[in-house]
Structure 1
Amino acid sequence: MGETRLDIARIRGARGVIDPVFLGSPLYRCEGLGARLGCVVSVKLETANPVRSFKARGTEVVASLLADSGARAVVCASAGNLGQALAWSGRGRGIEVTVVASRFAPSVKLDRIRALGARLELVDGDFDMARERAAAIASYDGIRLVEDSLDIETCEGAATIGLELVDAVPSFDAVLIALGGGALATGVGHVVKALAPGVEVICVQPLGAPAMTRSWRRRRVVTTDSTHTIADGVAGRRPIPAVLDDLLLVADDAVLVQETSIITGMRMLLDHAGLVVEPSAALGVAAILEDRERFAGRHVVTIVCGGNVDMDAYHRWVGPTPGRPS
């Protein structure tokens, strides 16, 4: 593997500053899911924490460094999960957090950002417009702009998931990783390729938000004019060049999946694992559904990366959950 921006020693050190509530997330073999998919499926459950996503692993590293430097304010753009995570990490360290998000983001994510004490500013556009506004606030106020995936701390915090996978699973053949901005994919991918190079690193993105996958395939940044997917957490249009460079070194494949497969994946995670997840967290299952032959008989780890989903939308997609009238 070539040189990425990430460093294994720093990743190991990150575990010392991340609140333990975000570490050691459940990892288990899901027999019901595997039986339906024709392979051995292990689930890494990153929703079993106070912000219901993996993002706090990275924001804990960011906020720790900011607190050590005496910083008292920070701003980020977020599709919802990063904002919650940064609000949590900043609140615990006395750092004022501003989050810029699209007003079309799921209300459950926006409400949680507010509840965690962050100042929330909404824009009439998508995540990339929110990113532009957050950069303007940072410049005007002279405060730190946290950029998910570009800031190496967000990648190396997410990479601690990779350490847990390599330490806990005796052997697995492939890991399926949701691909959005790239922090999760480059972080976990870096660790897996460094410590378990025989494992296939497969990134998964919706067909309706394909910018990073197209960029990986063409080995150059490819942007899109719009996105059309229910997986709001991975719906970026403009890949970051430095992140793409890292992804090119650690990913063995990047695949696109259809919306119907994402919804089926969400339903299967509910029916066979008892998990209510947001669409991005079902991308790994969707990838298996669309290429069963590729994964047949193999041991696959899928990272369930987020559980912040609007329940009204969830019921429209998946149907009523057990015990709830339709």
Structure 2
Amino acid sequence: MTQTRLDLARIRQARHVVDPVFLNTPLYRCEALEPVLGCAVSIKLETANPVRSFKGRGTELVASLLAGSAAPAAVCASAGNLGQALAWSGRTRGIDITVVAPRRAARVKLDRIRSLGARLELVDGDHEVARERAAAIARHEGIRLVEDSLDIETCEGAATIGLELVRSTPTFDTVLIALGGGALATGVGHVVRALAPGMEVVCVQPHGAPAMTLSWHARRVITTDSADTIADGVAGRRPIPAVLDDLLLVADDAVLVQEASITAGMRLLLDHAGLVVEPSAALGIAAILEDRDRFAGRHIVTIVCGSNIDMDAYRRLVGTSGVRI
């Protein structure tokens, strides 16, 4: 494999740095989904931790490096999950954390960031506007700017998920990975390509936020003017060139799915797996729904990457207004 920015030895070492609360998340075959989807489906449940997403694996690495500095502080832009994770990792190590988020981000995510002791600044606009503001704060205050997917720690933290997947028995034919900035996809993809090259790596993104997928197919960065999707966790418009370079080396395919398929995937995960998930976490199921023939008869593993969603919004999306959850 041509070299990516990631390093397998560092990824293995990361398991000794990341708080065990984020490691060895449940991985199990969900037989109840199989008659509906037409293939064997296993779930890697990255919501079973204090921040209810995979992001804590990466922020643990970032925070471990910052903890030894004289006045540790960091700022990040986040739709919610990275901000929660960085706030959690910073709080346990005495690091001053600032999170810049779009004002329209999910309230449950914003409330959780505040409750974890981080300073929260809201901006009008989308994630790209928040990234620009976070960079300005970092320059002005002279503190660490944490950039998801660009900072290698966020990728190599996520890559520890790959180590857990490749050591499983039985092995999988395909791993379906939500694609946003690219930390999860490049991290898991790097490990799979190195240690389980027979496993197909398929990235999944919404049609309403297709920038990274379009870039992967074109083999060059393509930006979009807007992002319009319920999957706010993957709603970027400007792919990072270095991350795209990594993704081109580790992904076998990148596909786009419709909003209706995402909500259908969320509903299936509730009805057949008892899981309440945010839209980004249902992208893998959505991909199977839209191309059943491709995955028929195969053993698929999908990474359920987050469950931070306002429950009123969740009920509207999955049509459970009359159900107590």
- Normalising by structure 1, what TM-score? 0.98
Match of 2:104 in 1: 104
Match of 1:167 in 2: 167
Percent identity reads 80
Alignment of 1:1-326 (within 5 A): 1-320=1-320, 323-324=323-324
Matches of 2:217 and 2:185, distance apart in 1: 15
Matches of 1:90 and 1:301, distance apart in 2: 31
Give the secondary structure class of the aligned counterpart of 2:197: coil
Give the secondary structure class of the aligned counterpart of 1:168: coil
Matches of 2:288 and 2:247, distance apart in 1: 21
Matches of 2:71 and 2:212, distance apart in 1: 32
Give the secondary structure class of the aligned counterpart of 1:88: helix
Matches of 2:169 and 2:237, distance apart in 1: 34
**How many residue pairs are counted as aligned between the two chains?**
325
Equivalent position amino acid for 1:312 in 2: D
Matches of 1:295 and 1:259, distance apart in 2: 20
**Cα deviation 1:7-47 (Å, max 9, x = unaligned):** 00000000001010000000000001122100000000000
Unaligned runs of 5+ in 1: none
Give the secondary structure class of the aligned counterpart of 1:42: strand
Q: Please, what is the CA RMSD of the aligned residues?
A: 1.0
**Cα deviation 1:174-200 (Å, max 9, x = unaligned):** 000000000000000000000000100
Matches of 1:169 and 1:61, distance apart in 2: 28
Matches of 2:235 and 2:185, distance apart in 1: 15
1:170 to partner: Cα distance? 2.6
Matches of 1:159 and 1:124, distance apart in 2: 32
Residues 42 and 321 (structure 1), Cα distance of their counterparts in 2 relative to 1, 3 Å cut: farther
Give the secondary structure class of the aligned counterpart of 1:215: helix
Residues 71 and 204 (structure 1), Cα distance of their counterparts in 2 relative to 1, 3 Å cut: farther
Give the secondary structure class of the aligned counterpart of 1:171: coil
Residues 70 and 298 (structure 1), Cα distance of their counterparts in 2 relative to 1, 3 Å cut: farther
1:319 to partner: Cα distance? 1.8
Give the secondary structure class of the aligned counterpart of 2:264: helix
1:320 to partner: Cα distance? 1.8
Matches of 1:169 and 1:110, distance apart in 2: 38
**Cα deviation 1:69-124 (Å, max 9, x = unaligned):** 44511000001000000000000000000000000000000000000000000000
Give the secondary structure class of the aligned counterpart of 1:121: strand
Matches of 1:306 and 1:106, distance apart in 2: 13
1:171 to partner: Cα distance? 1.3
Matches of 1:222 and 1:80, distance apart in 2: 24
Residues 63 and 323 (structure 1), Cα distance of their counterparts in 2 relative to 1, 3 Å cut: same
Larger deviation, residues 248-257 vs 60-69: 60-69
Equivalent position amino acid for 1:207 in 2: H
Matches of 2:281 and 2:206, distance apart in 1: 11
Equivalent position amino acid for 2:167 in 1: D
Matches of 1:321 and 1:244, distance apart in 2: 40
Matches of 1:234 and 1:15, distance apart in 2: 25
Runs of 4 or more consecutive aligned structure 1 residues displaced over 2 Å after TM superposition: 68-71
- Normalising by structure 2, what TM-score? 0.99
Matches of 1:119 and 1:180, distance apart in 2: 24
Give the secondary structure class of the aligned counterpart of 1:153: helix
Matches of 2:202 and 2:113, distance apart in 1: 31
